[in-house]
């Protein structure tokens, strides 16, 4: 079969007797050796350490030299596979034409197979798309590690990109296994809460699927340290009009940990999002009984969290795993509307805001970072606890976390130095993959107010510019109306105490 040689090759390509190529350069880089390129690739593939549950990443496979040898060795494993990524369109054409079709990993006609169940060849270079492709091809938690195998010099053209994709895949693998451990420890609690929360369905006001903010802008608030500066800027712009939903020109969707800081400043949000399933979540509601704030609560959340506030309740569902009971509830019309399982109440609040409004969504306080003396905003339960416990022997600084083995320094959106740990950093990466889409996508990507938090992968705006987005011209914009919650939950949950 003849070779496919792109016109951009700048050095002569001489076919060898095996149907490959005797070296060529492309864009100033030597991609294939002029001496036995197929044999060199086979020797590299033969020296690779093969372990089970490993995803091998081959950047720029070119003519596929070495893939047959590597796939033959992977055939002896149960859960290892090979992912080939080519970022250059002309070189991808070479790969697709050269990697011929064979039946499976144990049979050979001279080249590796595009139909081999252990092989995936793609020209996708978006990290989110790559992760989705791997998940669809091989399923979740198939791999425990990712290892890069360079069989030729093609990786030099986009070395930083290929390294970044390998790191993203490794983080995705770690996140999958972390979620599995969480389900092992908390799965029984999730389903127990879900069954108890089904009793709240007759008490909820408008279901989550029936709520709409129309075209009103929405401000999504997390409880990070940068929240204080955002609230100060809001008061400077809107003054007393900020306090009530009926007087401000935008909606506020907040995470449950934000409720005490907002209450301390007299700000009543339009909607609070609750995701946590454990009892320590009740600290977010201390002193808030009877406050007229609507609550959107996950089906697996702690039932008592839905009975504190008096503004009404709607339930949503994040499918944390596949269970037959969910299919039966859906068939009976009892399963609330679903949101993607993002694992973080801040991410869930953003996903909810994008679904509830056709207008602009702006985020603030989703820092995923901290400073040595501030882990959440002022008046949050965690910050108040540090203040209460401060004495001659216990200082405000949480040295165990700030200087722990897992903490690392990072640069915030404003250029200042902050601290973070792997868990919140993973949520930041997940935020970028979920919401940092192209501007013309539907729903549109949110904007972020620049503060001392990690860059979320979306456009950070100066506070004044972001506040301009939250205050559209008064004439065409109708004043916001209260959420359609005709009924109110009683002060106590109708369910028995845990």
Q: Where are the domains of the chain?
A: 24-174, 206-470
Q: In this structure, what token pair is assigned to residue 290?
A: 């009877």
pLDDT given at position 224: 92
Q: Which of 328, 331, 410 is nearest to 369 (CA)?
A: 410
Determine the Cα–Cα distance for residues 472 and 204; give it in Å rounded to an integer: 32
- For 126-184, the pLDDT digits (tens) are 887 888 889 888 988 889 999 999 998 888 888 899 999 999 899 888 878 877 777 77
- For 71-84, the pLDDT digits (tens) are 999 988 999 999 99
Question: 256 vs 4, which has greater pLDDT?
Answer: 256
Query: Does pLDDT of 473 surpass 70?
Result: no
Contact 307, 204 (CB under 8 A): no
Q: Which of 381, 411, 383 is nearest to 397 (CA)?
A: 383
pLDDT given at position 113: 53
Instruction: Kindly report whether the peptide bond that precedes residue 443 is cis, defined as omega within 30 degrees of 0.
Output: yes
Determine the Cα–Cα distance for residues 143 and 3; give it in Å rounded to an integer: 35
Determine the Cα–Cα distance for residues 387 and 260; give it in Å rounded to an integer: 15
* Assigned CATH for 24-174: 3.40.50
Whose structure tokens read 């108040």?
384
What's the residue count for the chain? 498
- For 114-123, the pLDDT digits (tens) are 567 889 899 8
pLDDT given at position 204: 66
Q: Please indicate, yes or no, whether the overall pTM of this predicted structure exceeds 0.85.
A: no
Query: Does pLDDT of 314 surpass 80?
Result: yes
pLDDT band at 185 (very low <50, low <70, confident <90, very high): confident
Contact 482, 245 (CB under 8 A): yes
């Amino acid at each position: 079969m003849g070779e496919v040689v792109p016109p951009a090759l700048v050095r002569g390509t001489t076919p060898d007797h095996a149907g490959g190529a005797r070296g060529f350069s492309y864009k100033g880089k030597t991609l294939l050796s002029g001496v036995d390129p197929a044999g060199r690739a086979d020797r590299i593939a033969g020296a690779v350490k093969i372990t089970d549950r490993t995803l091998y990443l081959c950047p720029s496979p070119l003519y596929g030299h070495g893939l047959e040898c590597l796939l033959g060795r992977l055939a002896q494993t149960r859960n290892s596979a090979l992912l080939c990524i080519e970022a250059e369109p002309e070189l991808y054409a070479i790969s697709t034409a050269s990697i011929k079709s064979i039946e499976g990993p144990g049979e050979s006609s001279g080249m590796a197979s595009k139909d081999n169940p252990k092989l995936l060849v793609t020209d996708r270079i978006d990290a989110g798309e790559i992760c989705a492709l791997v998940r669809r091809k091989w399923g979740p938690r198939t791999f425990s590690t990712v290892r890069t195998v360079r069989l030729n010099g093609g990786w030099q053209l986009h070395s930083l990109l290929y390294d970044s994709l390998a790191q993203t895949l490794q983080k995705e693998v770690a996140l999958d296994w972390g979620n599995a451990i969480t389900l092992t420890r908390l799965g029984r609690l999730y389903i127990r809460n879900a069954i108890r929360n089904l009793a709240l369905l007759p008490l909820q006001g408008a279901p989550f699927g029936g709520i709409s903010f129309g075209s009103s802008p929405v401000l999504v608030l997390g409880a990070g340290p940068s929240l204080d500066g955002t609230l100060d800027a809001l008061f400077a712009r809107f003054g007393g009009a900020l306090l009530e939903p009926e007087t401000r020109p935008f909606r506020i969707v907040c995470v449950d940990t934000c409720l005490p800081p907002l209450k301390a400043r007299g700000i009543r949000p339009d909607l609070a999002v609750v995701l946590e399933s454990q009892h320590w979540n009740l600290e977010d509601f201390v002193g808030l009984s009877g406050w007229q704030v609507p609550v959107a609560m996950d089906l697996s959340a702690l039932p008592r969290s839905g009975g504190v506030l008096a503004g009404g309740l709607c339930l949503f569902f994040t499918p944390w795993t596949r269970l037959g009971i969910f299919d039966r509830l859906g068939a009976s019309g009892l399963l609330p509307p679903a949101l993607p399982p993002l694992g973080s109440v801040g991410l869930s609040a953003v996903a909810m805001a994008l679904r509830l409004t056709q207008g602009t969504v702006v985020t603030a306080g989703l820092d995923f970072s901290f400073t040595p003396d501030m882990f959440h905003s002022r008046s949050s339960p965690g910050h108040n606890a540090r203040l209460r416990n401060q004495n001659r022997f216990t200082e405000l600084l949480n040295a165990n976390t700030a200087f722990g083995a897992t903490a690392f320094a990072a640069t915030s959106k404003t250029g200042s130095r902050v601290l973070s740990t792997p868990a919140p950093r993973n949520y930041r990466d997940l935020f970028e993959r979920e919401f940092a889409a192209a501007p013309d996508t539907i729903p549109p990507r949110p904007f972020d107010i620049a503060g001392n938090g990690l860059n979320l992968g979306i456009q950070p705006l100066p506070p004044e510019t972001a506040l301009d987005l939250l205050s559209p011209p008064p004439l065409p914009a109708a004043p916001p109306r209260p959420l359609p919650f005709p009924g109110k939950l009683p002060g106590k949950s109708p369910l028995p105490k845990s």
